[in-house]
Amino acid sequence: MRIGFVVNPIAGMGGRVGLKGTDGKVEEARRRGAEPRAPDRARRALEALAAHGSDEIELLTWGGDMGGEIARAVGMEPDVVGSPADGETSATDTERAVEAFVDASVDLVLFVGGDGTAADVAEAVEGSETPMLGVPAGVKVYSSVFAVSPEDAAQVVRTFERTERREVMDIDEDEYREGEVHPELRAVPLVPVAEELQSSKQLGGGNVEALAAGVADDIRASEKTFVLGPGSTVGAIKEELGFDGSPLGVDVWRDGEVLALDATESEILDALGPAGENVVVVSPIGGQGFVFGRGNPQLSPAVIRRCDLEIVASRSKLDTVGELRVDTDDPDLDAELSGWTKVRIGRVERRMMRIA
């Protein structure tokens, strides 16, 4: 199999430092101490691919940190068909790489990035019958062209037998930072058919008033520190607590006081109390079921390991989700979180759900 492999090395950098994306914010992310996320995600995918034998795989890639260096680091011998222009990589570099892969008649384009990268790849494969598959490394990841995890992407590459048309969605990141979410359909490319793919993100609905009131009452009665994730469901809890939370960010609350608003990973860690005295409250993404790893990278493994977990969701949202998912960048933590858990769906009601 001939695979075209390309990495957007800056994808997802803004997440843990509270920027909710990297579009136009690379230098700001670096000033805040952001570390690249995509290269490690790319390495994990290639290591999983190579672990099952790479003799039958011919890997074409782009030079430098857009693929070539990572492939060699895991022991593969890629055919580097081009290199990025000097300076910061751009959408143009991604499109050039994918166009070269298509011209070389690859069987699949495997890319590492977020929704913006997916849109660039889809534009470059348009007019061909070349399928594409994403290794998720962005902050939002609304599109249904991504595998659930880097390791799942390798599994899809090894086993898929047919393709289907799936959605590439993207949003305006400046609007997203202001709390406005308006997903736009960008393309409907061919994608491998596999169980390891995620669905398009849907916005959950349903009445959450009783749920929010019950959770808020419990928070007020507690002396613990509460890390309140993004989204409309947890947003309703913030409203019940009497403050204007960041709708797409993470806020920290303790004993009637907002300790951090739209907090970065480091700000959350600074605000946490002793072990056993912290709770992270999150709601899964409707349609996808992600609890961690989509839209909330500030909730890093370091944060999660210091907190108890409270998952909240309306009944209608859970009806769109077969099982819950996590993708924390830490496979060991993902495994620890997996299994059956209780999801709070009302003032006192809970439903058992499985974290895959």
Provide the percentage of residues in the chain whose pLDDT is more than 90.
65
Confidence of residue 306 (pLDDT cuts 50, 70, 90): very high
**Which is more confident, 54 or 113?**
113
Whether 338 and 291 have beta carbons less than 8 Å apart is answered as no
Confidence (pLDDT) at 206: 46
Give the pLDDT of residue 327.
Answer: 94
Greatest Cα-to-Cα distance within the chain, rounded to the nearest angstrom: 63
Which amino acid makes up residue 126?
A: E
The torsion region of residue 3 among left (phi > 0), alpha (psi -120 to 50) and beta comes to beta
Residue 205 confidence class, pLDDT cut points 50, 70, 90? very low
Task: For 26-67, write each residue's pLDDT tens digit.
Answer: 566 566 765 778 999 999 999 999 987 767 899 999 999 999
Q: Is the pLDDT of residue 17 over 50?
A: no
**Is it the case that residue 318 has pLDDT exceeding 90?**
no
- Amino acid 219: pLDDT: 96
Span 237-255, pLDDT tens digits = 999 999 999 988 999 999 9
Q: Where are the domains of the chain?
A: 2-192, 209-355
Residues shown for the chain: 356
Sign of CA dihedral 187, 191, 194, 198: negative
pLDDT of residue 199: 73
Q: Which two tokens stand for residue 117?
A: 């990268």
pLDDT at 208: 84
Q: Which of 15-24, 119-128, 137-146, 180-189 has the lowest mean pLDDT?
A: 15-24
**Whether residue 294 has pLDDT greater than 70:** yes
Lowest mean pLDDT among 16-20, 186-190, 218-222, 224-228: 16-20
Q: Is-above-0.75 flag for pTM?
A: no
**Cβ neighbours of residue 97 under 8 Å, at least 6 residues apart?**
4, 6, 61, 62, 66, 67, 81, 82, 124
The answer, yes or no, to whether residue 331 has pLDDT greater than 50, is yes
Dump pLDDT digits (tens) for 76-96.
Answer: 999 999 998 776 678 899 999
Q: Which CATH class is domain 2-192?
A: alpha beta
Mean pLDDT over the full length of the chain:
88
Span 346-354, mean pLDDT? 87
Q: Which one, of 347, 342, 341, 318, lies nearest residue 212 by Cα?
A: 347
Query: Distances from the Cα of 328 to the Cαs of 74, 150, 290, 331, in angstroms?
Result: 22, 11, 10, 7
